Structure 1
Amino acid sequence: MEGAARVIARRGVRGLRVEELAAEAGVSTALIYYHFKDRAGILRATLEFINDRAGRYTTEREPDAPPLDAQGELEETLLLEFQDSPEVRENSTAWGELRATAVFDPDLREDLARATLVWVQEVGELLGRVRPMAGAAALAGAAERLTALVEGL
């Protein structure tokens, strides 16, 4: 899946060719089709991969790092989306490409909407720990705005 994320980040979804993906992954095109059936399957699996990878790099902490308070955890989670590392840049680029493609692909749109909803809910939970007396609607709205801001940057 790393190969698919790299190819999508480099060429975009429209530029994704199974032959190039197979070469990037070091496998045959037949194996790609065996596992993913079709292009839509590749896109779904890549979306899941980059979403899981983002979950890892936004939640992993150094074992000896001091514990964070609620606001520190919220800030760090959001700021870790802006790391200057190839993995994060690749993830962000591939996510943007998949989001743009989802406008024209109803199946991908649904998968992406679900992934975004999970992220918004996670940000909302973090906001709730920062502002425990805030109402659910205010937290949800703020979480959506923060998510849109992070995705836009």
Structure 2
Amino acid sequence: MNERRRAILEAAARVIARRGVRGLRVEELAAEARVSKALVYYHFGDRAGLLRHTLRFIGDRAERYTRGRPPGKREPENSLRELEHRLLLELQDAPEVRENSTAWGELRASAVFEPELREELRQAGTEWVREIADLLGRVDPAAADAVLVSAAERLTVLLEGLSTRWLIGVLPAGHARELMRGAIAAEVEGLGPGPGPGPGMPEPYAVGRVR
């Protein structure tokens, strides 16, 4: 990615996390990124384009840190540990994760008033549910796809709620992680062969990623 383009997106994530989407002003963003307003418009066209690209940038950044390994940590030894690893890294008490999760929540909330973001969020949420369903399928290859998708939806929705409570200081990060571990264990225990997807089965509910 172009260095200035990345600087603008990093600055947009910071400003949105700090002031929300409605508080995003191109003048402040340009000053934060140390570029001109004209360069912001050159790269992203308009405010809507900037928001869409920022949402993707935040999603890509979250993808990187949830697939990474903290220093000194070994690769997860099995599929269940990999599932836990991916989900619990969304609750790291680290500045980048806090900023990412806060900015993502602001973008998700703004979609109530800014419909142009809804399709991006729907796609991102559907991809995340599919990713978690695939990990669950590796834990229990015999489970039906519809069962895996439902379990993935419940886990991602719960993670969003836990993340919000953690970010506003209602829930300590350690306790949020313990609750998430308990939910993962319960969902894995409940997996098993079930009816496959039939005619008219709805698509996965498009949750937004916690980032």
Superposition TM-score tier, normalisation by shorter sequence? over 0.9
Shift of 1:132: 1.3
Structure 1: which 4+ aligned runs deviate by more than 2 Å? 61-64
1:31 aligns with 2:33: no
CA distances 1:85-124 after superposition (whole Å, capped 9, x unpaired): 1100000000100000112222200001101111110000
Structure 1 residue ranges without an equivalent (≥5): none
Q: TM-score, normalised by structure 2?
A: 0.70
Confirm or deny that 1:4 pairs with 2:2: no
Letter in 1 for 2:47: R
CA RMSD of aligned residues (A): 1.3
Question: In terms of Rg, which structure is larger?
Answer: 2
1:67 Cα deviation after fit: 4.0
Unaligned runs of 5+ in 2: 1-8, 163-211
The aligned residue for residue 112 of structure 1 is 121
Q: Residue in 1 aligned with 2:151?
A: 142
Mapped pair 1:88 → 2:88: no
Measure the CA separation in 1 of the matches of 2:143 and 2:88.
23
* Alignment partner of 2:21 out of 9, 13, 25: 13
SS of the residue 1:16 aligns to: coil
Structure with the largest fraction of helix: 1
Match runs of 1:8-87 below 5 Å: 8-61=16-69, 65-87=74-96
Aligned residues: 153
Q: State, as a whole percentage, how many aligned pairs show the same letter.
A: 68
Query: Normalised by the size of structure 1, how large is the TM-score?
Result: 0.96
In structure 2, distance between residues paired with 1:96 and 1:64: 29
